[in-house]
Amino acid sequence: MDYTAEALREHTRTWTPERKAAMLAWLQAQHARRVIQTHYTHPAQLAAACDPNYVITPATETISKAVEHAIREPRQNLLVTMPPQEGKLVSHDTPVPTPDGWTTHGEIRPGDTVFHPSGVPIKVLEVHQPAAADRRVHFSDHSYIDVHHRHEWTVWDRACGGYRIVETARLESVKLSSGPPGTRGHRYRFQLPWQEPLRCEPADLPLDPYTLGVWLGDGTTTKPAITHHPDDHYELPYAVTKSFIHATTGIVTDYYGEELRRDLIAAGVFKNKHIPQKYLRGSIEQRRALLAGLIDTDGHVSKNGQVSFDNSNETLVRGAAELARSLGYRAHVHKPTEPKLSTSGIQGKKRMWRLTFSPHDVAPARLPRKAAAFRPAIRRRIAITKIEAIDPTPGHCITVDSEDGLYLVGDHMTPTHNSSLCAVWAPLRALQINPDTRIIVTAYGDALAEDHSRTARGWIETAGTGAVDAITGQPVEDKIGLQLDRTSTAVSNWKITSGKGGYKAVGLGSSITGRAADLLIVDDPYKNMQEADSAAHRRKVSEWFKAVALTRLSPDASVIVIQTRWHENDLAGEIIATEAELPPEERTWRHINIPAISEAGIPDELGRPPGVAMISARGRTQDQFEARRRQVGERVWYALYQGVPTPNEGGLFSRSWFDDHRLEHQPDRSTMRVVAVDPAETGEGDEAGVIAAALQPDGSIALTHDRSGHMTSDQWGHAAVALAMETHATEIAVETYTAGTTYVNVIRRAITAYRRKLEETFDGRDRDTAAAIRRTHDLKVHPWRGKGDAIARSALLRQAIETGTCRVVWPELVEFVDQAVSWQQGQHQPDRVAAAIIAHDRLQLRSSKTASFGNPVRPTVTRQAPAWMTRKLG
């Protein structure tokens, strides 16, 4: 309703001053929003105004203008496919923790395993082209990491009290702390997510971890003996053979005899005190036991929650620091102190190194007096303290298989990020244009959807109406014209004050009952190509989109879908096929595709002639795009970078892949070997697949032996064990979809039978037979279950064979190759292929690289890997 000035005064005559002030503030905010709105013509301009590091290219501008049209006009649906925009680069020499120890960022390859901050092992999906790390980011735990200035961080921002995704250059442009260092008012603004304990499988350890910790702390380097205070008693699984009490101090030395000596030698610590890498990647319980042994001997537990470990052995102290960090604690190694008098009254002769950390969960000790003194500390995040420019050093960025894109890097296991910003500026622009817009943003997982929501909300809090600088408290320029409604600010569901609109984030498949949408944004409904290859998962996505998402739309709502085209019949394929059947006047979808390199027959919104590379926001050249194509293979290239799926015509494997990358002889070195089994129920119809594979020192995988055939369960069990012994494999992996326990027991019975046969002929002197008997005891059986259907499970093996990261020995596997190239969609998966998929999957998960150990506080030092990591297995 419009009012004249006099009518307005009359209408508000009875209002209280507070009500008039509130109305005035609301009108001023609405006016400010409209004025700010006119400054931009599409979302990319809004992004560039708020974020000085946002790059507008012809591709992003084209898409942004199409998004603006979809926002402003009713029922304007948009489908977008374009290459990913990378720039989350970490220097090559940065150490990275893996389940098998340490590698460096430069050594990481697709299929390797790293750790998520939750502690869960995750796969590396892609390794991108090398570039330069030009910034050094320092942290409050005295570590640093070298990254690209556009590297993204997920940080807790004290300004908004929530997580944001921020590029390094953005962090560089703001004040990182308040108040002088060392004063009560000093606070760091940006903090990293908490790191949880690394989740590793229980390790087969030659020595009880608690005993090892006690011996490392107070044991005699050259003897199976442990010295301790007379009031302390350790519960160890070894018998004391004799004790000695010092006449002056009363200190007790217990001797444990030959059994402990043998186990110390087996662990590799006798006459060489250190924490073996195998113990640093044991299970959480094994690592806690080891830490307790160290703290019970050379540790101190204070009442304020801080725990310290003192020892003259620098290597041991730094190993204990890694142990503490692997359990999720912030650990700091202090400079050595001069010799001093111990609590036992003995004058020290060596400088002591000290480790300090503050456990927030459980007591890191077993001795009653130390466990009783423990008080959980307040858990504190690691903060970003300084950013400085450095001379460019080589580096690259990686893509990991986690919904939030986070993984751990650095000696101190620092969480960093690898996903791009999306589904952020379009919602902000939509709310800017119409504050009543109700927006739903969905992605393949809840965490990714919430990431987008958190980022969008963070920009309102730092660059919107009423925003103030978190350090100075001074107002900042309003660049968005929106303000959060403080009664509705949940991470996944928030609203604004100037209208009825807001943002709802949901994972694909989640319920959105009771929430209508004026704008629906679907950001990549498939997590990876395995999901897209699964017919069941594609059906799940399609049904959710049609039966749940589309039913929540208001009559004039628009839909924006951003997707990688992994499969012809994915969600985008369904949309395109449905539109093609309609008369032109009834079509509501616009498809924008921008290939990395224009190519005849592939739609290109930019209208380039064939062979022209797109202008990359991350500075990629045409040569780099071409190199990327060779690295990832044709299917990934066309899906991820060209925006079109590659149809599976004929066989799912191409014979040229095998011909181009065949091995003419057995590999002479390997770091691990496995035998994989796809069982047969009776041996009368199906074959049983029995394939051996080797992980080579360069990280590639070789399929080396094929013992498949029509066999009964006893026959394929014995065949698998015989092949494992022949190839010196350390594991037999068996598919367990239908009768898991039965199949595992078949293998175990076969191992026992093989061992008994060896023992019957063993005369006690034949070293080869003795070694074979030991190998039967060490041979592990792994029950394997893959995800998705047969086509989906084969995706990684197909890519590896196409790119040459997995090769077959010729002509040993000629029958496997024939079956693979003749396998087509809709047919039963050949058993040889099924077994090869299992072998490839297991070696990818367990792969290890040359060890590179480094401390970001000092120059990185590359050392020879321990013998147990590089010994020849076959």
| Tens-digit pLDDT profile for residues 30-87 | 767 777 878 888 988 888 888 765 778 888 899 999 999 999 999 899 999 888 654 3
On the question of pLDDT at 862 being above 60, the answer is: no
Contact 440, 453 (CB under 8 A): no
CA atoms within a 13 Å half-sphere pointing along the CA-CB vector of 716: 34
Both tokens assigned to 370: 């130390």
Domain with CATH 3.30.420.240 in the chain: 655-846
Report the C-alpha gap between 721 and 709 in whole angstroms.
Answer: 15
Q: What is the CATH number of domain 39-84+422-593?
A: 3.40.50
Cβ-based neighbour number of residue 749 at 10 Å: 15
In sequence order, the 6+-apart residues with CB closer than 8 A to the CB of 233 are: none
Report the C-alpha gap between 833 and 817 in whole angstroms.
Answer: 9
Report the C-alpha gap between 770 and 499 in whole angstroms.
Answer: 79
CA atoms within a 13 Å half-sphere pointing along the CA-CB vector of 337: 14
In sequence order, the 6+-apart residues with CB closer than 8 A to the CB of 777 are: 755
Contact 384, 172 (CB under 8 A): no
Both tokens assigned to 596: 């990395």
Contact 80, 562 (CB under 8 A): yes
CA dihedral over 120, 124, 125, 129, signed as positive or negative = positive
In sequence order, the 6+-apart residues with CB closer than 8 A to the CB of 456 are: 423, 424, 425, 427, 428, 503
What b/e sequence results for 292-302 when a residue is b if at least 16 CB atoms lie within 10 Å of its CB, and e otherwise? bbbbbbbbbbe
> Could you tell me whether strands 780-784 and 731-735 are parallel, antiparallel, or unpaired per DSSP bridges?
parallel
Give the pLDDT confidence of 767-812 residue by residue, as tens digits: 889 889 999 999 999 999 887 778 888 888 988 898 888 999 998 9
Give the pLDDT confidence of 257-308 residue by residue, as tens digits: 889 999 999 999 999 999 999 999 999 999 999 999 999 999 999 888 899 9
What residues pair up with 806 in beta bridges, in sequence order? 701
User: Tell me: domain 90-194+381-416, CATH 2.102.10.10, correct?
Assistant: no
Report the C-alpha gap between 227 and 251 in whole angstroms.
Answer: 7
User: Tell me: domain 655-846, CATH 3.30.420.240, correct?
Assistant: yes
Alpha-carbon 787 to chain mean position: 18
Smallest CA-to-CA distance from 673 within 719, 713, 720, 716 is with 720
| Complete DSSP assignment for 181-243 | TTSTT-EESEEPPP-PPP--PPP--SS-HHHHHHHHHHB-TTSSEEEE-TT-----SS---EE
The widest CA-to-CA distance across the chain, in whole angstroms, is 114
Alpha-carbon 262 to chain mean position: 39
* pLDDT value of residue 869: 34
* pLDDT value of residue 359: 92
| Complete DSSP assignment for 16-76 | -HHHHHHHHHHHHHHHHHHHHHTT-SSHHHHHHHH-TT----HHHHHHHHHHHHHHHSTT-
CA separation, residue 188 to residues 117, 183, 383 (Å):
21, 12, 6
- State the helix-helix crossing angle for 535-544 and 571-580, rounded to 10 degrees: 60
Contact 718, 698 (CB under 8 A): no
What is the separation, in whole angstroms, between the first and last Cα of the chain? 86
CA separation, residue 631 to residues 399, 643, 799, 840 (Å):
14, 17, 10, 18
Query: H/E element holding 165?
Result: strand 162-167
User: Mean pLDDT in the chain?
Assistant: 83
* pLDDT value of residue 26: 67
Phi and psi at 635, nearest 5°, equal -65, -50
Give the pLDDT confidence of 316-338 residue by residue, as tens digits: 999 999 999 999 898 888 878 77
* pLDDT value of residue 830: 87
CA dihedral over 216, 222, 224, 230, signed as positive or negative = negative
Composition of the chain by helix, strand, coil, percent to 5: 35, 25, 45
Cβ-based neighbour number of residue 643 at 10 Å: 25
Is residue 37 exposed (0-12), middle (13-18) or buried (19+ Cβ within 10 Å)? middle
Q: What percent of the chain has pLDDT over 70?
A: 86
On the question of pLDDT at 648 being above 50, the answer is: no
Name the more confident of 198 and 182: 198
On the question of pLDDT at 683 being above 60, the answer is: no
For the segment 470-485, the average pLDDT, to the nearest whole number, is: 79
CATH homologous superfamily of 209-373 equals Homing endonucleases (3.10.28.10)
* pLDDT value of residue 130: 64
* pLDDT value of residue 626: 85
Contact 720, 750 (CB under 8 A): yes
| Complete DSSP assignment for 718-747 | HHHHHHHHHHT-SEEEEE-SS-HHHHHHHH
Length of the chain: 874
Minimum mean pLDDT range among 306-315, 465-474, 607-616, 781-790: 465-474
Report the C-alpha gap between 677 and 831 in whole angstroms.
Answer: 9
- Verify cis geometry, omega within 30 degrees of 0, for the bond prior to 121: no
| Res. 471 pLDDT band, cuts 50 70 90 | low
Report the C-alpha gap between 595 and 408 in whole angstroms.
Answer: 32
CA separation, residue 96 to residues 89, 407, 834 (Å):
14, 9, 32
Contact 166, 151 (CB under 8 A): no
Domain with CATH 3.10.28.10 in the chain: 209-373
Both tokens assigned to 63: 């898409």
Give the pLDDT confidence of 513-568 residue by residue, as tens digits: 666 899 999 988 887 777 888 888 889 999 999 888 888 899 999 999 998 888 88
Contact 732, 674 (CB under 8 A): yes
* pLDDT value of residue 87: 39
